[in-house]
Amino acid sequence: SRSQKKKYKTLNVFDFDKTLFWTIDREEGAKRWEKVNGKPYTHKGWFGRPESLDPKLNQEINKTMKKIYDTLRSDPDGLCILNSNRYIGLEKTIKSFLTHHGFQMDAVLLKTGRENKGTNLQEFWNNYPEITVINCFDDKEASLNHYRRLKDRYSIYREDLTFNIYKVTRDGITKV
């Protein structure tokens, strides 16, 4: 497998909603979905449903994040992964949505139960102990806090580690 041969230096971790894409909420989404599909949207939920990822909804890409992604993706010693609280059942739909918009991820980590983004990242990172730089991009304070805790825990004994956490907003990207 790829991991036995290649050693990586950098792990780039991207959130999906309101980070890579300015995804729309249920109210706006259901309206748009009904318009493009010509039938009523009858489901209560939104983000847990494949309809929310219908390419016909023309959801906006975060252009700043796409530039950052393209730069980080071009590094042969870097891995790019998606770490989202979207439901695992949407994995295929999310992967094809990403591909459609020019994002090639080495892994897609989604929500299966009670675990959080920190746990998901830690489990993935365990397979690549040689990584010394981690860049996390997210919009939600709760997720940023999970990353902060992970950073604090590892910084104690991994002096070689650079762990960067970035908050993504409409106004830009800030290191936190």
Chain segment 93-104, per-residue pLDDT in tens: 999 999 999 999
Residue 37 reports pLDDT greater than 90: yes
108-165: per-residue pLDDT in tens? Answer: 999 988 789 999 999 999 999 999 999 999 999 999 999 999 999 998 888 999 999 9
Length of the chain: 176
Residue 2 pLDDT > 60, yes or no? no
Q: 5 or 138: which carries more pLDDT confidence?
A: 138
**Cα 5 from chain centre:** 25
Sequence letter at residue 99: T
pLDDT confidence of residue 5: 64
Query: What does the pLDDT read at residue 140?
Result: 97
Residue with tokens 């792990």: 11
**152 near 143, Cβ under 8 Å?**
no
Cα distance between the two ends of the chain: 35
E strand or H helix at 22? strand 21-22
pLDDT at 11 over 60: yes
CA-nearest of 57, 62, 68 to 20 is 62
Q: Give the pLDDT band (50/70/90) at residue 61.
A: very high
Q: Is 103 exposed, middle or buried (0-12, 13-18, 19+ CB in 10 A)?
A: buried
Mean pLDDT computed over 36-56: 96
pLDDT at 1 over 60: no
